[in-house]
Amino acid sequence: MVNFVINTLNQLYPEIPIPLDNKDPYTLLIAVLLSAQSTDVRVNKITPLLFERADNPNDMVKLTVEEIRDIIKPVGLSPMKSKAIYGLSQIIIDKYNGKVPQSFEALESFPSVGHKTASVVMSQAFGVPAFPVDTHIHRLMYRWNLSNGKNVTQTEKDAKRLFPKEIWNDLHLQIIWYGRQYSPARGWDIDKDIITKAIGRKSVIKEYYKSKKS
Protein backbone atom coordinates (compact mmCIF):
# COMPACT_ATOMS: atom_id res chain seq x y z
CA MET A 1 0.00 0.00 0.00
CA VAL A 2 2.71 2.46 1.03
CA ASN A 3 4.92 1.46 -1.90
CA PHE A 4 1.98 1.93 -4.27
CA VAL A 5 1.53 5.51 -3.00
CA ILE A 6 5.24 6.29 -3.31
CA ASN A 7 5.60 4.76 -6.78
CA THR A 8 2.46 6.43 -8.13
CA LEU A 9 3.48 9.85 -6.84
CA ASN A 10 6.99 9.46 -8.24
CA GLN A 11 5.53 8.67 -11.66
CA LEU A 12 3.17 11.66 -11.53
CA TYR A 13 5.67 14.12 -10.03
CA PRO A 14 9.25 13.21 -10.95
CA GLU A 15 10.06 16.90 -10.57
CA ILE A 16 8.36 18.68 -7.71
CA PRO A 17 7.62 22.41 -7.94
CA ILE A 18 7.71 24.45 -4.72
CA PRO A 19 4.19 25.91 -4.17
CA LEU A 20 5.32 29.20 -2.60
CA ASP A 21 7.74 31.50 -4.43
CA ASN A 22 10.82 32.31 -2.37
CA LYS A 23 14.56 32.88 -2.71
CA ASP A 24 15.92 32.12 0.76
CA PRO A 25 14.87 30.94 4.24
CA TYR A 26 13.56 34.36 5.27
CA THR A 27 11.31 34.90 2.25
CA LEU A 28 10.07 31.30 2.58
CA LEU A 29 9.23 31.84 6.25
CA ILE A 30 7.25 34.99 5.43
CA ALA A 31 5.46 33.31 2.51
CA VAL A 32 4.44 30.30 4.61
CA LEU A 33 3.20 32.56 7.41
CA LEU A 34 1.12 34.51 4.89
CA SER A 35 -0.37 31.30 3.45
CA ALA A 36 -2.32 30.52 6.64
CA GLN A 37 -6.03 30.43 5.71
CA SER A 38 -5.16 31.73 2.25
CA THR A 39 -4.11 30.22 -1.07
CA ASP A 40 -0.63 29.85 -2.48
CA VAL A 41 -1.76 31.60 -5.67
CA ARG A 42 -2.87 34.66 -3.71
CA VAL A 43 0.28 34.68 -1.59
CA ASN A 44 2.48 34.46 -4.70
CA LYS A 45 0.78 37.59 -6.04
CA ILE A 46 1.40 39.55 -2.84
CA THR A 47 4.92 38.51 -1.84
CA PRO A 48 6.62 40.26 -4.80
CA LEU A 49 5.01 43.52 -3.66
CA LEU A 50 6.14 42.98 -0.08
CA PHE A 51 9.63 41.76 -0.96
CA GLU A 52 10.16 44.67 -3.31
CA ARG A 53 9.99 46.83 -0.20
CA ALA A 54 11.64 44.41 2.21
CA ASP A 55 13.07 40.97 1.48
CA ASN A 56 15.18 40.70 4.63
CA PRO A 57 14.55 41.35 8.33
CA ASN A 58 16.58 44.57 8.47
CA ASP A 59 14.50 46.20 5.74
CA MET A 60 11.27 44.74 7.10
CA VAL A 61 11.59 46.47 10.47
CA LYS A 62 12.10 49.77 8.68
CA LEU A 63 8.46 49.46 7.64
CA THR A 64 5.69 50.04 10.13
CA VAL A 65 3.22 47.32 11.03
CA GLU A 66 0.57 49.41 9.27
CA GLU A 67 2.61 49.56 6.05
CA ILE A 68 3.10 45.80 6.10
CA ARG A 69 -0.61 45.29 6.77
CA ASP A 70 -1.62 47.46 3.82
CA ILE A 71 0.56 45.42 1.45
CA ILE A 72 -0.55 41.97 2.65
CA LYS A 73 -4.24 42.79 3.13
CA PRO A 74 -5.46 40.61 0.19
CA VAL A 75 -4.17 37.40 1.81
CA GLY A 76 -6.43 37.81 4.86
CA LEU A 77 -5.75 38.01 8.62
CA SER A 78 -3.52 41.00 7.85
CA PRO A 79 -3.63 42.59 11.35
CA MET A 80 -2.23 39.45 12.99
CA LYS A 81 0.16 38.56 10.16
CA SER A 82 1.65 42.05 9.87
CA LYS A 83 2.43 42.15 13.61
CA ALA A 84 3.95 38.66 13.37
CA ILE A 85 6.12 39.56 10.38
CA TYR A 86 7.42 42.68 12.08
CA GLY A 87 7.90 40.89 15.40
CA LEU A 88 9.75 37.84 14.09
CA SER A 89 11.94 40.05 11.89
CA GLN A 90 13.02 41.99 14.98
CA ILE A 91 13.73 38.74 16.85
CA ILE A 92 15.83 37.41 13.95
CA ILE A 93 17.90 40.61 14.08
CA ASP A 94 18.23 40.71 17.87
CA LYS A 95 18.82 37.01 18.60
CA TYR A 96 20.09 35.41 15.38
CA ASN A 97 22.28 38.03 13.67
CA GLY A 98 19.71 38.60 10.95
CA LYS A 99 19.56 34.96 9.81
CA VAL A 100 16.64 32.54 10.13
CA PRO A 101 17.57 29.92 12.74
CA GLN A 102 17.81 26.26 11.70
CA SER A 103 15.86 24.86 14.63
CA PHE A 104 12.26 23.80 15.17
CA GLU A 105 12.33 25.17 18.71
CA ALA A 106 13.57 28.61 17.63
CA LEU A 107 11.15 28.88 14.71
CA GLU A 108 8.16 27.79 16.78
CA SER A 109 8.98 30.50 19.34
CA PHE A 110 8.29 33.18 16.72
CA PRO A 111 4.89 34.91 16.73
CA SER A 112 2.27 33.12 14.60
CA VAL A 113 4.74 30.38 13.63
CA GLY A 114 3.43 26.94 14.52
CA HIS A 115 4.81 23.46 13.97
CA LYS A 116 3.58 23.20 10.38
CA THR A 117 5.20 26.49 9.31
CA ALA A 118 8.43 25.55 11.08
CA SER A 119 8.37 22.14 9.37
CA VAL A 120 8.01 23.70 5.93
CA VAL A 121 10.97 26.01 6.54
CA MET A 122 13.13 23.26 7.99
CA SER A 123 12.40 20.89 5.11
CA GLN A 124 12.34 23.24 2.13
CA ALA A 125 14.92 25.84 3.21
CA PHE A 126 17.36 23.70 5.20
CA GLY A 127 16.76 20.16 3.91
CA VAL A 128 16.02 18.78 7.38
CA PRO A 129 13.60 15.81 7.21
CA ALA A 130 10.12 16.97 8.21
CA PHE A 131 6.55 16.16 7.26
CA PRO A 132 4.40 19.32 7.35
CA VAL A 133 0.73 18.32 7.32
CA ASP A 134 -1.66 20.69 5.56
CA THR A 135 -5.34 20.14 4.77
CA HIS A 136 -4.53 18.15 1.61
CA ILE A 137 -2.22 15.70 3.37
CA HIS A 138 -4.61 15.36 6.31
CA ARG A 139 -7.49 14.59 3.91
CA LEU A 140 -5.55 12.14 1.77
CA MET A 141 -3.97 10.21 4.63
CA TYR A 142 -7.52 9.58 5.85
CA ARG A 143 -8.91 8.74 2.41
CA TRP A 144 -6.02 6.36 1.81
CA ASN A 145 -6.69 4.61 5.14
CA LEU A 146 -3.22 5.53 6.41
CA SER A 147 -4.41 7.62 9.37
CA ASN A 148 -7.57 7.94 11.43
CA GLY A 149 -8.23 11.58 10.54
CA LYS A 150 -8.64 12.69 14.16
CA ASN A 151 -6.12 15.54 14.04
CA VAL A 152 -3.06 16.76 12.13
CA THR A 153 -0.72 15.74 14.96
CA GLN A 154 -1.77 12.12 14.62
CA THR A 155 -1.63 12.33 10.82
CA GLU A 156 1.97 13.59 11.02
CA LYS A 157 2.94 10.75 13.39
CA ASP A 158 1.38 8.18 11.07
CA ALA A 159 3.06 9.65 7.98
CA LYS A 160 6.46 9.61 9.68
CA ARG A 161 5.92 6.05 10.86
CA LEU A 162 4.82 4.73 7.45
CA PHE A 163 7.08 6.54 5.00
CA PRO A 164 10.90 6.40 4.86
CA LYS A 165 12.52 9.47 6.42
CA GLU A 166 14.74 10.15 3.40
CA ILE A 167 11.71 10.89 1.18
CA TRP A 168 9.61 12.98 3.60
CA ASN A 169 10.64 16.33 2.13
CA ASP A 170 9.69 15.37 -1.42
CA LEU A 171 6.74 13.21 -0.51
CA HIS A 172 4.80 15.82 1.46
CA LEU A 173 4.95 18.13 -1.57
CA GLN A 174 3.92 15.33 -3.94
CA ILE A 175 0.88 14.56 -1.78
CA ILE A 176 -0.11 18.24 -1.74
CA TRP A 177 0.03 18.46 -5.54
CA TYR A 178 -1.86 15.18 -5.87
CA GLY A 179 -4.55 16.38 -3.48
CA ARG A 180 -5.04 19.56 -5.46
CA GLN A 181 -5.16 17.88 -8.85
CA TYR A 182 -6.73 14.46 -8.25
CA SER A 183 -8.32 14.31 -4.81
CA PRO A 184 -9.71 17.72 -3.82
CA ALA A 185 -12.17 18.31 -1.01
CA ARG A 186 -14.72 19.72 -3.48
CA GLY A 187 -15.45 18.61 -7.02
CA TRP A 188 -13.85 15.24 -6.32
CA ASP A 189 -13.97 12.65 -9.11
CA ILE A 190 -12.85 9.34 -7.66
CA ASP A 191 -12.42 7.84 -11.12
CA LYS A 192 -9.50 10.25 -11.66
CA ASP A 193 -8.18 9.64 -8.14
CA ILE A 194 -6.24 6.44 -8.89
CA ILE A 195 -4.67 6.11 -5.44
CA THR A 196 -7.90 6.43 -3.45
CA LYS A 197 -9.73 4.17 -5.88
CA ALA A 198 -7.06 1.51 -5.48
CA ILE A 199 -6.37 1.58 -1.73
CA GLY A 200 -8.88 4.00 -0.23
CA ARG A 201 -10.86 3.58 2.97
CA LYS A 202 -13.96 1.55 2.11
CA SER A 203 -16.30 3.82 4.05
CA VAL A 204 -15.02 6.88 2.15
CA ILE A 205 -15.47 5.22 -1.25
CA LYS A 206 -18.91 3.93 -0.29
CA GLU A 207 -19.95 7.41 0.86
CA TYR A 208 -18.65 8.92 -2.38
CA TYR A 209 -20.76 6.66 -4.61
CA LYS A 210 -23.77 7.07 -2.32
CA SER A 211 -23.55 10.86 -2.67
CA LYS A 212 -23.36 10.57 -6.48
CA LYS A 213 -26.57 8.54 -6.58
CA SER A 214 -28.55 10.96 -4.40
Q: Which residues are catalytic?
A: 116, 134
- Identify the burial level of 48 via C-beta atoms within 10 angstroms of its C-beta, where 0-12 means exposed, 13-18 middle and 19 or more buried: exposed
* Identity of the residue numbered 115: H
Residue 175's nearest CA partner among 205, 195, 197 is 195
Phi-psi region of 21 (alpha: psi -120 to 50; beta: other; left: phi over 0): beta
Query: Cβ distance 154 to 162 under 8 Å?
Result: no
Query: Cβ distance 20 to 29 under 8 Å?
Result: no
